[in-house]
Amino acid sequence: MRGLMKLATIAAAGILSLGIYTTDAAAKYDYTNYSASGLSKESSQCLDCHRKATPFVVNDWKRSKHFYNGVGCYECHKTDESNPAAYDHYGFTISTLVTPKQCGVCHPKVAKEYMDSIHAHSGLISQKAEAKSGGNFAVIVMQMMGWDKNTVIPHQTTNGESTWDDIINDPCWPYAGVPNNLKTPRPKASAVIKIFANWGCYSCHGTKIEIAKKTKDKVVFDLRTWPMIGAGTINPDGTIGNCAACHPFHSFRLKIVRAGIGACGRCHESEDHPNYEMFGKSMHGAMFLSQFDEWNMDAPAIKAGQDYFAPTCGTCHMGAVYQGDKMIYAPTHNPASICKWKLGMWKLVFVRKAGRPHPGLPSVKYPTDGIKNRERAFAMCTQCHTKQWVANCFIGGDLTMGVLDYFRRVAFQVERDLEKAGLNTPLDRKIVRDIGAMAVRPTEIAMFHYAPGYIWWEGIYRVAFELVEWLESSVEPRLGADYVSKYVSWIKKHVKKVEKYKKKHHIH
């Protein structure tokens, strides 16, 4: 029986490597047989325990190509003592983290492309920005509230009872990696807000993973730094990035990343970069969402108009590009390989140049050239559309950048002038940031993702409205009508009208 099962498994592996998945789940996965061909002695021992200790993990891994190719638990989780996250686990030296270093042993080209991309550096870049802003991102909320570094907010219910005992007597408490400055009923607000900053900002950008407690056979990570699976995670072994940011373990199924809407959309979403929302509201998204189940998204390389019939984040940004039957661009792990512009910064926009230093972290260089990227993009879209169709889209987008950036430049200038006059408040910072980050940036991105509402209502309309509302109702009372009318001429005329009206009706 076992032999038969094994044969069936090998046959299934054959089918999989041809890229033809059967639709019958029961035929596809056999959860009673754990003998993959070529599984190492060590990994078989992991399985002996883990079938019971973590059955979900084992069954999920059983769905993967790794299982069918004899890549087991040990091949990924093994490490050595030089890794600070290593521990002894029943005689094996392993790490819970599996970093790009370990994946790169078998996927060297992929690992290099990813580690050279801006993606893998997004943790370092945002940590640098954090250091500049004065410590941590808690400062955004701290400054708005007017709190300083000594402000203490105790753990209490709304009616003032302490909740501290209910926290430390919780059954989870002994397993958690709680840093010392949070082991108190009266923590500093800045320490608590750091939890939000990490689980917020760094779940996407990547935390610097810290070890809270280490014994010979256990590593406990600081709860503010793990398990967040950011694109630019800074790992204890000295590597950057996390392959699981897009490829959720342990199935590592290509369909998941190619669908992109979730794998990428987890981070590329909400107000400041709503790619996920835009895709869902574009014609491409409509085509994808209604039909993807009929497509062949698991094959090793997929072809537009054959395996799939509408593009996704993954296929546009990273997928192979064909001309006829010839693959003219191989899949890549630099998702910016089709990006002419750098659109994702809230303060500025520019055309990429290979070797150009990143403005926030000059040691990181842009790996590819904007114009070359545009050539790839043009070839990618013209797999499905005509040249005129695509050129109109791209040049149309390019022509909007100057006007969009003008609004942001005005906002920065006005903020500087408020500062010079000593009349600025933390709320001005928020408003200027929102104009740059939540209005101009997403509109730039929208110009290349074709969701009409994000181009108009959430786009240029919002940009103009937010700037003018701020100038009229908040800056004019401080810097005067002459000043704001440099940018928006009707405000001065309006102020004069109001003055006349007040005089006539004796209003002071």
Q: How near is the Cβ of 2 to ligand HEC at its closest, in Å?
A: 19
* 266 binding ligand HEC? (CB under 6 A): yes
* 225 binding ligand HEC? (CB under 6 A): no
Q: Which residue lies nearer to ligand HEC by CB, 224 or 250?
A: 250
Q: 411, 252, 261: which is closest to 346 by C-alpha?
A: 411
Q: 85, 77, 50, 122: which is closest to 364 by C-alpha?
A: 122
The H-or-E segment that residue 326 falls in is strand 326-329
* 459 binding ligand HEC? (CB under 6 A): no
Chain length of the chain: 508
Which residue has tokens 């005067």? 480
Q: How near is the Cβ of 500 to ligand HEC at its closest, in Å?
A: 46
Which residue of 188, 194, 224, 250 would you call a contact of ligand HEC, by CB under 6 A? Answer: 250
Q: Which residue lies nearer to ligand HEC by CB, 143 or 485?
A: 143
Report in angstroms the alpha-carbon separations of 115 from 103, 129, 254, 293, 366: 12, 20, 20, 32, 12
| Mutual angle of helices 138-145 and 426-433, in 10-degree steps | 140
* 236 binding ligand HEC? (CB under 6 A): no
Q: Which residue lies nearer to ligand HEC by CB, 66 or 475?
A: 66
Q: Which residue lies nearer to ligand HEC by CB, 68 or 407?
A: 68
Q: How near is the Cβ of 471 to ligand HEC at its closest, in Å?
A: 26
Query: What string of DSSP letters covers 274-308?
Result: -HHHHHHTSHHHHHHHHHGGGS--SSSS--BTTTB
* Binding-residue pattern over the window 27 to 66 for ligand HEC, x denoting contact by CB under 6 A: ---------------x--xxx-xx--xx--xx--x---xx
| Torsion sign over Cα 462, 466, 468, 472 | positive
* 267 binding ligand HEC? (CB under 6 A): yes
* 252 binding ligand HEC? (CB under 6 A): yes
Near ligand HEC in 429-448, by CB under 6 A: 445, 448
DSSP letter assigned to residue 32: T
Q: How near is the Cβ of 134 to ligand HEC at its closest, in Å?
A: 12
Rg (CA), the chain: 27
Report the residue number whose CB is nearest to ligand HEC: 344
Near ligand HEC in 342-381, by CB under 6 A: 342-345, 360, 374, 377, 380-381
Near ligand HEC in 140-199, by CB under 6 A: none
Near ligand HEC in 76-135, by CB under 6 A: 76-77, 89-90, 92, 94, 96-98, 100, 102-103, 105-107, 110-111, 114, 117-119, 122, 125-126, 129
Which residue of 224, 258, 376, 408 would you call a contact of ligand HEC, by CB under 6 A? Answer: 258
* 462 binding ligand HEC? (CB under 6 A): no
Q: Which residue lies nearer to ligand HEC by CB, 126 or 443?
A: 126
Q: With contact defined as beta carbons under 8 Å apart, do 110 and 392 qualify?
A: no
Which residue of 69, 143, 400, 424 would you call a contact of ligand HEC, by CB under 6 A? Answer: 69
Q: 421, 335, 382, 391: which is closest to 118 by C-alpha?
A: 335
227 cis-preceded (ω within 30 degrees of 0): yes
Q: Which one of 25-33, 242-250, 454-462, 481-489 is the stretch in contact with ligand HEC (CB under 6 A)?
A: 242-250
Q: 378, 388, 310: which is closest to 340 by C-alpha?
A: 378
Which residue has tokens 């909320």? 141
Which residue of 194, 224, 284, 376 would you call a contact of ligand HEC, by CB under 6 A? Answer: 284
Near ligand HEC in 301-340, by CB under 6 A: 301-302, 304, 308-320, 331, 333, 335-336, 338-340
Please state the separation of Cα 179 from the chain's center in Å: 26
Q: Which residue lies nearer to ligand HEC by CB, 72 or 471?
A: 72
* 393 binding ligand HEC? (CB under 6 A): yes
Which residue has tokens 């900002």? 201
Q: Which residue lies nearer to ligand HEC by CB, 284 or 462?
A: 284
* 244 binding ligand HEC? (CB under 6 A): yes
| Torsion sign over Cα 44, 49, 52, 57 | negative
205 cis-preceded (ω within 30 degrees of 0): no
* 72 binding ligand HEC? (CB under 6 A): yes
Please count the other Cβ atoms lying within 10 Å of the Cβ belonging to residue 268.
22
Q: With contact defined as beta carbons under 8 Å apart, do 122 and 205 qualify?
A: yes
Distance between CA 82 and CA 432 in Å, rounded? 46
* 139 binding ligand HEC? (CB under 6 A): no
